[in-house]
Amino acid sequence: MSFLRLIYLALAVWGAVHPMAYFGPWIAENGFDVAALVAEWKATGAVTGLYWDLVISAIALTVWILAEVSVRRNWLALVAIPATFLIGVSCGLPLYLFLRSRPVK
């Protein structure tokens, strides 16, 4: 495995674990209340801006993944879409780059 692929994989793992250090305690305190979580994301203008930045980035990443998968036929790369929306762009993007950069057979 190339050094670049290892970096992508490490970033994907970090992007999955680090945000959960913040979400985990919040979920333990508030339960799995999606409405309350979205309300937190819209608590201030700065947080709302970050929320929309990530939503737009997630949609753009999804469009890119779908466009490339349809051409490259790298079906495994579709795993990055649920990773993006269930974990975050910080995991989905490096995971997709990791899956996309595997050697062509």
Residue 70 sits in which domain range?
3-100
What's residue 32's pLDDT?
A: 87
In a domain, 79, yes or no: yes
- The count of structural domains within the chain is 1
Angle subtended at Cα 54 by Cα 49 and Cα 58, rounded to the nearest 5 degrees = 150
Q: What's the confidence (pLDDT) of residue 25?
A: 93
Q: What is the pLDDT of residue 41?
A: 86
For the chain, 105 residues long, give each residue's pLDDT as a single digit of tens: 899 999 999 999 999 999 999 989 999 999 989 899 889 888 899 999 999 999 999 999 999 999 999 999 999 999 999 999 999 999 999 999 999 998 876
If we measure between CA atoms, which residue out of 82, 52, 90 comes closest to residue 65?
Answer: 82
In a domain, 105, yes or no: no
Contact 89, 57 (CB under 8 A): yes
Cα separations in angstroms, 7 against 57, 87, 98, 100: 21, 19, 8, 13
